[in-house]
Every structure is written in C-alpha cells, then in structure tokens.
C-alpha cells in the first residue's frame, strides 16, 4: 500500500513538472476520487498549476527571444546614429568607392575599398586553407574513420576553435612568417599570406565539424544505392554522399568565410596596418577589423571624424557578414532535399 | 578463377555431378552471425538462371540478411560474419581474392524504400555504368533501361528533373532501371513493393514478370499472393533456417512441412 501511494505521488509530481495539461488518469491511486469528479473542470488544482506554470515559462521564453532581437536592433541603431556624423562630412560615394584609406593623417581620405579589399583578400586566402583541410577532415571523419578514431579526433579538432585568436595571431607572427621568410625571402614581416594561413587554420573546425554533421546525415539507403551499383567506398563518399550533403557543406564554407571576415586579433597581429589595394599576399595590408582595433586602442578623441569612421566601417562589416549568413541560410534552404 | 570453394570444398565437389548447368547461384552451408547472434543457419540453395525466387517467412527470420549475402551488402555491418560459400557462376563470391565491388556489378539490388540518388533522372540511370567505365552510348542505355522499367514514357520529357520529384512508384521503377542499366545477371529485391500503394505495387509486379525473361530475380516479400503470382520457386524461412523450398505451385498447394502449411494459411507470422 505504501508502495502504491509512492507510485501515485510520483506520477502526480511528474505530470505537473512536464506541464501536462491533462487531468490525471483514474488509474493512479493517489488522486482517484479527485480526477473522476473534475475530469474536465478547470478547478482541478493540478491542472491549474500546470496551466499557470506553462504560462510563466512561455513568458520567460518570449522575453528571452525579444531580448536578443532588441540587442541586435540596439546595435544597429547605435551603428547608424554614430555613423551619421561621419556621413555628414564624407559622402557615401567617396566612402564606398574611394580607393585611398588615409583616415588618421592629413590630407585625409576615407575610401573604404582598400580595407574591404584587405578583408576579402585574407578571407578568400583563408578559404584556400580551410576548405581543403576542413572538407578532407570531414570526409575522413564521416566516411573512413573508425568510431574510436573519430571519437578522439573530432573533439581534438574542435579544440582548435577554442584557442583564443590572439594566440593564433602571435603564432602567425613569430612562427609562420619567419618560416615563410625562409622560403620567400621577399615577404614582409606583416603580410596577408600568414594571416590567411592562420585564419584558415582557425576556421578549419567550423567546416570540418559542420560538414561532418551534414555528411553523416546522408541516409544509409543512399550509400547502399551507390554500393549496390558497384561503386567503391571512395566513389560512394565523393560521388554520392558529398553531393547529397552539398547544401550543408556549402553553408559551412560560407559560415567559415563570414567568420574569417569578422576575425580581428589574428589578422591585426599578422597582416599589419597598411591599407592597400593589392593582389600581393606578401605585402602588409589592413582589414576592416584591424582598422577598428587600431583606432580603438589609439587615443582618438571622442566625437572626431576618425571616431565616427569606426562606426561607418563597422556598419559595412555588419552588412557584409549579414549578407554572407543570409546567403548561407538561403543555400541551405534551396538545395536541401528531404529524403523521405 | 577459383572453381572450388575455399571454405567448404568437400561439399561442392560432392554436389557438382548432380547439378544442372544452369545454376547461377549455389549456396552451401551458409551460417551468418551478427556479433554472436546467429541470423542464418546451415543454408543450402540452388538458384537457376532466369527464374524468380520468392523468399517468404515471418519478420526477423533472416530473409533480408540472406538476400544481402548475395551481393555482399552485409560487409558494411561491422560485426557481421559469414561461413560457408555462395558461388556465382562457379566462383565463390566470399573467396578472399574476390572484390565485392565486382560482385555487385553482376548482382544488382533494389531496396525496400525507393532510394534514388539526389540527382537527375538521367544521371540516376547513367551513374552506375559511368563510374564502372562502361564504353557505351549513355543516351541509348538510359532510354533502353527506362523502357525496360516501364518508366520511359512518363519521364522522357523530364530526364533532367531530380529523381526525388517522381512519385514513390516511379522512384522505385527508376531504381529498377538503374539496376538494369548495369546489365546484371541477377537482381535482388528486398520487399520492393512494400512502401508503395497497391496500384504502384501492381505495376512493379507486372514489371518483374517482364524482367524474368532476362534476369534471375530473388525477391523477398511478405505478400503470399505476390509470391504465388510472381515466382517459380518459393523459399520459406524461419528463425534463420530454410524450412522448405520448391516450385511455388507445389509449395503453396501441397506443403511438405507442417510449419510451412501453418505459415501460408496464416496461422502465425
Ligand atoms: N545490423 C544488424 N545487427 C544486428 N542484428 C541484426 C542486424 N540486422 C538484422 N539483425 C537481426 O537478424 C535477424 C534477421 O533479420 P532480417 O533483417 O534478415 O529479417 P527479415 O526476415 O528481413 O525481417 P523483415 O521481414 O522484418 O524484413 C533479426 O533477428 C534481426 O534482429
Ligand atoms: Mg527484411
């Protein structure tokens, strides 16, 4: 009997905790009389408690959701309002299409193209590292690695993502660049090449991890279809699984690219601060993020044009990553096939 | 090519004399295990060319396991083990020198759930022949394969459409066309109609009747009428063993084993 009451109690508290709005089944011994009397009545105290609880949780969740939207909106409003004074002095045409970025010395010039170019140069360069390595690792992990290999390799690679980016920048400056200088003597101390390599390494886990997930989500039936037609495991992974997972793979590459665009410390340390429209990876360049660092840590007077230029540049950066992420989402949606 | 099975040479040499020449597959003393659980027990079976074999039996009796032994599809299951021999045209496909990839070029498979590749209808059919380096006119191959699968008229205007845009029954016929394009000897079918509506199922059945002229077909089915309609031979399995097999008509009309009789009259299963 004691046992039975315990059972009843347990099922009672469980149904409240889960927020189950249904009244108790007659079978549970603890509340037999109660539930049969008030089967559909809202005066049932458990029902009311559950209902009330649900309402509270819903409100909390809703507040959380609106908070994140409000914060994003707040950032955009601040960016816009702080960038407005800048655009009073510099026309947006000169800003967007000018090819000279000389913000700190007279005669000043605020053509943003060189630092957009710097950003893209490093980001695209990084892709040359992150895409082959990330994709190779993903294919190896999902298709060829034994479960045991996989279970320690994947966390190990994801650990890369946890290393602070300043460490990567430092690594580029004191290890990669000197190494490169041995091969290419004419490379500058600060250069886009080592920045690309290091940002590439940083974004490898993003591609390998997300692509691995995408590859593993490809149903077994498709792999079997390939094998049943006399394909080798290599052909199956490259010509069945990879095409089937292509949407997730492309999305992971775009996300890694947009992460590279936003990357700050590593490129500031490795690539230097010389805004330049160049194709030469051996020269020093400046990215948008590196410019923001440069001005932020300097003693720029509040309210000066340099100060406001920060927000104009940040606005461009924000829009660029927004566009990339939107494209990633769009690609995912457009190319995704449901396999059922 | 090895002519004697390496696993069980005595059995095959003993039996050779009594074999008719048209046995395309010979199963001898096959035991199969998933880890330590035995899924198939002492299986022997001869499969004659250009005939349809139906495999029936209650769920979990090992029909799929058995079927997948014929194209070594079970190789991908890590703890799967098989003993005994399965000879395809006198070569043991489980011999150490045999590459399973090559086995699958001769022995095609159609799965329970239609599984087109996520590419165009055309590429679905041409994919296998292409990766296997067939030197043929692919347009022609695609057309004849789709015609044999009774799908050509419905898709000839939209060969570039994705295979997934077809109906379930059409997808299954596409999968059959894909298997045919490889020009196999044997086609394995694991409940090819069970995911389809009755009308599509009927069309697949008619197709199988057509195909048996050119191929040996091994089909797993839960549908007793289907087995009776389609097959020359029926194999009744239970708990990993073949209880009884023989010409379909005989097996259904005068089953020799009481278990068979009980199963086909619906007493269990
Ligand atoms: N991958 C696997 N790992 C372990 N055991 C398995 C695996 N696949 C099948 N089995 C077991 O082997 C036995 C035979 O399974 P099989 O799939 O061959 O049955 P079946 O006759 O095809 O059944 P159904 O009619 O339901 O498809 C079953 O007991 C099943 O649980
Ligand atoms: Mg089965």
Q: What is the pLDDT of residues B171-204, one digit of tens each?
A: 999 999 999 999 999 999 999 998 888 888 888 8
Asked whether B226 and B196 are in contact (CB, 8 A), the reply is no
Asked if the Cβ–Cβ distance from A224 to B115 is below 8 Å, we say yes
Instruction: Using an 8 Å CB-CB cutoff, list residues of chain B that contact chain A.
Output: 71, 73, 76, 101-102, 104-105, 108-109, 111, 113, 115-119, 127-128, 131-132, 162, 164, 175, 178-179, 182
- Convert the pLDDT of each residue in B106-165 to its tens digit: 999 999 999 999 899 999 999 999 999 999 999 999 999 999 888 999 999 999 999 999
Asked whether A289 and A264 are in contact (CB, 8 A), the reply is yes
Residue nearest to atom 24 of ligand 1 (CA): B59
For residues B215-230, average pLDDT: 93
| Angle of CA points B199, B204, B208, to nearest 5° | 145
Ordered alpha helix ranges (H), A140-262: 147-162, 165-171, 177-183, 192-216, 220-228, 233-236, 242-244, 246-262
Burial class of residue A93, CB neighbours in 10 A (0-12, 13-18, 19+): exposed
- Convert the pLDDT of each residue in B3-49 to its tens digit: 333 443 333 333 443 444 578 999 999 999 999 999 999 999 999 99
The confidence score (pLDDT) of residue B187 equals 95
Rounded distance between C-alpha atoms, residue B233 and residue B213, angstroms: 15
- Convert the pLDDT of each residue in B58-75 to its tens digit: 999 999 999 999 999 999
Burial class of residue B28, CB neighbours in 10 A (0-12, 13-18, 19+): buried
No. of helices (H) and no. of strands (E), chain B:
11, 10
Asked if the Cβ–Cβ distance from A225 to B116 is below 8 Å, we say yes
Q: What is the DSSP letter of B32?
A: E
Tokens of A132: 């082959």
- Domain limits, chain A: 2-65, 101-335
Tokens of A265: 């410390």
Asked whether B85 and B69 are in contact (CB, 8 A), the reply is no
Domains of chain B, CATH where assigned: 49-72+100-264 (3.40.50.300)
Q: Please, which residues have CB within 8 angstroms of residue B83's CB and are 6 or more apart in sequence? A: B7, B29, B30, B31, B32
Asked whether A108 and A330 are in contact (CB, 8 A), the reply is no
Q: Which residue of A has its CA nearest to B195?
A: A340
Rounded distance between C-alpha atoms, residue B268 and residue B122, angstroms: 44
CB atoms within 10 A of CB A39: 12
The confidence score (pLDDT) of residue A56 equals 94
CATH number of A101-335: 1.10.3720.10
Q: What is the DSSP letter of B161?
A: S
What residue ranges of chain A have pLDDT lower than 70? 1-43, 337-340
For residues B48-56, average pLDDT: 94
Write the CA distances from B11 to B14, B27, B87, B101, integer angstroms: 5, 10, 12, 27
For residues B246-265, average pLDDT: 92
The confidence score (pLDDT) of residue A39 equals 61
Asked whether A223 and A236 are in contact (CB, 8 A), the reply is yes
Q: For residue B131, give the nearest of B110, B111, B153, B104 by alpha carbon.
A: B104
Give the binding-site residues of ligand 1, using a 6 Å CB cut-off.
B 34, 39, 57, 59-65, 77
Asked whether B4 and B29 are in contact (CB, 8 A), the reply is no
């Amino acid at each position: 009997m004691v046992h039975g009451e315990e059972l009843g109690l347990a099922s009672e508290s469980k149904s409240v905790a889960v927020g189950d709005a249904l009244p108790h089944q007659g079978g549970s011994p603890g509340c037999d009389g109660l539930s049969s009397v008030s089967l559909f009545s809202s005066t049932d105290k458990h029902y009311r408690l559950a209902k009330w609880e649900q309402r509270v949780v819903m409100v909390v969740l809703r507040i959380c959701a609106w908070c994140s939207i409000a914060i994003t909106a707040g950032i955009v409003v601040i960016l816009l309002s702080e960038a407005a004074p800048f655009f009073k002095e510099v026309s947006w045409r000169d800003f967007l299409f000018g090819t000279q970025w000389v913000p700190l010395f007279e005669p000043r010039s605020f053509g943003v193209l060189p630092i957009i170019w710097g950003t893209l140069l490093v980001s695209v360069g990084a892709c040359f590292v992150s895409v082959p390595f990330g994709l190779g690792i993903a294919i190896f992990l999902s298709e060829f690695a034994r479960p045991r290999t996989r279970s320690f390799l994947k966390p190990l690679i994801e650990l890369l993502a946890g290393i602070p980016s300043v460490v990567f920048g430092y690594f580029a400056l004191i290890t990669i660049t000197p190494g490169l200088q041995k091969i290419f003597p004419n490379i500058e101390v600060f250069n886009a090449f080592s920045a690309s390599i290091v940002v590439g390494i940083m974004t490898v886990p993003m591609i390998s991890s997300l692509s691995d997930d995408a590859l593993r989500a490809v149903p077994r039936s498709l792999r079997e279809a390939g094998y049943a037609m006399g394909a080798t495991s290599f052909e199956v992974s490259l010509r069945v699984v990879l095409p089937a997972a292509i949407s997730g793979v492309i999305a992971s590459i775009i996300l890694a690219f947009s992460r590279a665009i936003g990357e700050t410390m590593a490129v500031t340390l490795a690539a230097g601060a010389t805004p330049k429209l160049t194709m030469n990876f051996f020269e020093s360049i400046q990215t948008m993020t590196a410019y923001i660092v440069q001005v932020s840590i300097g003693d720029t007077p509040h309210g000066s044009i340099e100060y406001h230029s920060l927000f104009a540049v940040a606005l461009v950066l924000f829009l660029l990553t927004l566009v990339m992420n939107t494209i990633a989402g769009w690609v995912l949606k457009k190319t995704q096939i449901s396999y059922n | 090519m090895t002519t004697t099975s390496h696993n069980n040479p005595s059995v095959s040499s003993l039996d050779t004399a009594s074999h008719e020449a048209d046995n395309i597959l010979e199963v001898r003393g096959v035991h199969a295990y998933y880890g330590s659980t035995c899924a198939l027990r002492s299986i022997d079976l001869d499969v004659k060319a250009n005939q349809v074999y139906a495999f029936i039996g209650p769920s979990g009796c090992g029909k799929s396991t058995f079927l997948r032994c014929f194209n070594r599809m079970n190789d991908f299951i890590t703890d799967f083990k098989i003993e005994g021999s399965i000879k395809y045209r006198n070569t043991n496909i489980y011999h150490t020198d045999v590459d399973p990839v090559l086995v699958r070029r001769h022995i095609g498979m159609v799965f329970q759930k239609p599984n087109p590749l996520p590419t165009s209808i055309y590429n679905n059919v041409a994919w296998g022949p292409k990766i296997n380096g067939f030197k043929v006119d692919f347009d022609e191959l695609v057309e004849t394969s789709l015609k044999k699968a009774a799908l050509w008229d419905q898709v000839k205007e939209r060969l570039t459409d994705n295979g997934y845009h077809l109906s379930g029954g059409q997808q299954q016929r596409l999968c059959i066309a894909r298997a045919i394009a490889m020009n196999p000897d044997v086609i394995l079918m694991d409940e090819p109609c069970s995911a389809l509506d009755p009308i599509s199922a009927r069309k697949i059945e008619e197709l199988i009747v057509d195909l048996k002229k050119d191929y040996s077909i091994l089909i797993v089915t839960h549908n007793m009428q289907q087995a009776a309609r389609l097959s020359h031979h029926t194999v009744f399995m239970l708990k990993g063993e073949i209880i009884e097999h023989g010409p379909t008509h005989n097996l259904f009309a005068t089953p020799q084993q009481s278990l068979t009789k009980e199963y086909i009259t619906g007493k269990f299963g």
